[in-house]
Amino acid sequence: MSASYILVVDDEPDIRDLVKEILEDEGYAVATAENAAAAREARRAQRPDLILLDIWMPDTDGITLLKEWSEGDHLPCPVIMMSGHGTVETAVEATRLGAYDFIEKPLSMAKLLLTVERALDADRLARENLNLRRQQRIVAEPVGRSDVVQRLRTQVLRIAQHDAPVLIFGEPGTGKEVYARYLHAHSLRRGGPFIDVGVGSIARENASLELFGSEQGDRIHYGRLEQASGGTLFLDELADMDLEAQAKLASALENGAFLRIGGKEPVRVNVRVVAATHRDLEQEVAVGRFREDLYYQLNVVPIKLPPLRDHIEDVPELLNYYIGY
């Protein structure tokens, strides 16, 4: 799993450099920005996991940036405000806009590190809880004691130790998402996010926006690909993806970067893609409904899931599991 990426925004170079050095010593990846313009560019270049934001800066103040960065009723990542001239009113306004906490200068580095750790943990927990609410009926691991299931578990555990793309084939109901989550949970990326995308549930005209996000002026919408940074992106029913989105995904996998909708500069991405389908993708390629290059990019490590009729000895255990769920 990659280190959490933190953006430090402060117009005082001594503070920027000191905070950067201390955070890097703790194992974080850190970028700095000396003003609002540089902060906007840093957010455009890569989605931060957390932002340390000074309130008073020469061009645009931190409160204004918070308003810019808000996505509806929330911020796309935790923001910790810093100020040597803060007031109660400013702190209340920052909290109202979604800031995680407010730290006064001169900074206590012990308090700063503790607040950063707590903010990242809280954000991770919130994402995990959201994911659990969405997937309350998802099985934690494959159920069954048959030779078939035991071999699949062993295969998935072996694949999990590598970082190559994975393509899971199987009829509906064979547990493709269960195996994808099991793979992620035992991979080196297990501390990162698992972002699942039901491709068939996205309107075709919105697929590129949903996956790759958008830029409009200084406003940035982070797509699912960036949300999965440092973790796993699971694309369920891959064959339902339209050809335009397929082309962008193939380019992202080839180059390790992509363009947001409306963007002009490429965005680097660090994610493992696990995709699933019940269709014969070779046939889809042959009739022109699926890109051949994307098929070979994702089919690096194939996993074929057998239907339950091929291991009916697991039926009693499956019944017991779901009855007791």
| Domain CATH number, residue 33 | 3.40.50.2300
More confident residue, 36 or 2: 36
**228 plus 280 within the same structural domain:** yes
Query: Does residue 132 carry a pLDDT above 60?
Result: no
pLDDT of the residue at 219? 86
**264 plus 175 within the same structural domain:** yes
Label residue 109 left, alpha or beta by phi (over 0 means left) and psi (-120 to 50 means alpha).
alpha
**302 plus 270 within the same structural domain:** yes
**50 plus 190 within the same structural domain:** no
Give me 124's structure tokens.
């991770």
Of 132, 148, 172, which residue is a domain's last? 132
CB 209 within 8 A of CB 261: yes
pLDDT of the residue at 73? 59
pLDDT of the residue at 120? 94
Query: Does residue 286 carry a pLDDT above 90?
Result: yes
According to DSSP, the β-strands at 166-169 and 301-304 are: parallel
Lowest-pLDDT choice from 25-29, 82-86, 108-112, 278-282: 82-86
Q: Which domain holds residue 99?
A: 5-132
Of 81, 106, 132, which residue is a domain's last? 132
Q: What does residue 226 show for φ and ψ, rounded to 5 degrees? A: -75, -35
pLDDT of the residue at 200? 87
**104 plus 200 within the same structural domain:** no
**287 plus 216 within the same structural domain:** yes
What lies within 8 Å, CB to CB, of 65 at 6+ separation is 9, 36, 39, 40, 53
Q: What does residue 233 show for φ and ψ, rounded to 5 degrees? A: -105, 120
Query: Does residue 308 carry a pLDDT above 70?
Result: yes
- The tally of domains found in the chain comes to 2
Tell whether omega for the bond before 172 is within 30 degrees of 0, i.e. cis. no
pLDDT of the residue at 223? 94
pLDDT of the residue at 249? 96
Q: How far apart are CA 275 and CA 232, in angstroms?
A: 10
**117 plus 206 within the same structural domain:** no
Mean pLDDT of 133-161: 82
Q: What does residue 232 show for φ and ψ, rounded to 5 degrees? A: -125, 135
> pTM for the whole thing?
0.81
- Please name every residue paired with 104 in a beta bridge, in sequence order, or none if there are none: 83
Q: How far apart are CA 146 and CA 188, in angstroms?
A: 27
For 71-128, the pLDDT digits (tens) are: 665 788 999 999 887 677 888 888 889 999 999 999 999 999 999 999 999 988 887 6
CATH number of the domain residue 225 falls in:
3.40.50.300
Which residue's structure tokens are 């390790």? 256
Of 100, 132, 164, which residue is a domain's last? 132
pLDDT band at 48 (very low <50, low <70, confident <90, very high): very high
What is the share, in percent, of the chain residues with pLDDT greater than 90? 70
CB 168 within 8 A of CB 176: yes
Query: For the chain, what is the mean pLDDT?
Result: 90
pLDDT band at 316 (very low <50, low <70, confident <90, very high): confident
**98 plus 35 within the same structural domain:** yes
DSSP 3-state of 64: helix
User: Measured at the alpha carbon of residue 203, what is the angle toward residues 199 and 205, in degrees to the nearest 5?
Assistant: 115
For 169-202, the pLDDT digits (tens) are: 999 989 999 999 999 999 999 888 899 999 988 8
**119 plus 194 within the same structural domain:** no
**49 plus 70 within the same structural domain:** yes
pLDDT band at 141 (very low <50, low <70, confident <90, very high): confident
Lowest-pLDDT choice from 108-112, 245-249, 260-264, 319-323: 319-323
H helix count then E strand count, the chain: 13, 14
**149 plus 38 within the same structural domain:** no
**161 plus 307 within the same structural domain:** yes
